[in-house]
Amino acid sequence: MKILIKTFLIIILSINLAYSACDLIAEFGEKKEVFEKREIATRPFPMEYAELDVYPILANDVCPNQKLNDVGIEYRFLNDELVAVNFVALNDDRNLVTEKLTLMNYVKNNYQKFDTGNNPNSYEGVEVIEKTNLFIVYQRLTGDDGIKNEQIYISTPKLDEKLSKFYAKKEMEELKNSQ
């Protein structure tokens, strides 16, 4: 009887671990200097705005058990504060990463299931998911070049608002400067 109970517990725990979201290794609101001390930190991408830094890392380096092959993770810092994390499918013109349904299944298994119709590979759209203190956007759209833009944006409601206000302010400045 004890063996049966132990086996049952092991199965339940392994199922829960298999579908638990990736540990992003950094906390929202964390300062950039703390993040840069982590072994995973790389150099930031050059960005359009000096206040914004994006650190790209391969998802398998952060989440080796999630099987996120050919997926990148971008840690987004605004004024030296981690405000968002993006998972991005590293597609080329064949869209092989998106066709494997890697990110779609990740969202469905870790955040919320959503309707993709009879053929998930033909799904195009945006799903907004609100969880306790998490704001998640899954996007899968085809660009003009035929390459699928598939990504997951994760933030907190407070930090997402901060990032949105920053972009809105920059757009207003650009509009004012163009007149």
Per residue in 82-118, pLDDT tens?
Answer: 999 999 999 999 999 999 999 999 999 999 999 999 9
> In terms of Cα–Cα distance, which of 20, 30, 48 is closest to 85?
30
What is the H or E stretch that residue 177 is in? helix 157-178
Q: How many CB atoms lie within 10 A of CB 50?
A: 7
> The tokens 């092959």 sit on which residue?
69
* pLDDT confidence bin for 3, thresholds 50/70/90: low
pTM, to two decimals: 0.85
Q: What is the DSSP string of 119-152?
A: -GGG--EEEEEEETTEEEEEEEEE-TTS-EEEEE
What does the pLDDT read at residue 62?
Answer: 92
What would the two tokens of residue 53 be?
Answer: 């830094």
Q: What span, in angstroms and rounded, lies between the C-alpha atoms of 143 and 93?
A: 10
Q: Please state, in angstroms and rounded to a whole number, the distance separating the CA atoms of residues 135 and 155.
A: 5
